[in-house]
Amino acid sequence: MEELHSATVSDERLEDCRDVVEPDLQDLIRATMAAGFSAEEVLIAISELVAEDFAVVAKVPSVH
């Protein structure tokens, strides 16, 4: 994972990134729900994984 050099992200780049990530995220959510998990379980698991990855990139302790 790449080191985070700044916590400041431009709104335009963030919007562009979301546009790229969102379809795959929706596919992941649907596929995981099809495997028998609830929407809440899927979203919590994704949230925890993102928090862990962000902690590594930002070099801060994870709370998960």
Residue 57 lies in a domain: yes
Across all residues in the chain, what is the average pLDDT? 87
CA–CA dist 39, 26 (Å, integer):
11
Whether 62 shows a pLDDT value over 60: the answer reads no
Residue 22 lies in a domain: no
DSSP state at residue 13: H
Stated pTM of the model: 0.73
Residue 30 lies in a domain: no
15 sits in which H/E element: helix 11-34
Of 19-23, 32-36, 43-47, 55-59, the one with minimum mean pLDDT is 55-59
Number of residues written out for the chain? 64
Domain count along the chain: 1
pLDDT of residue 47: 97
Residue 26 lies in a domain: no
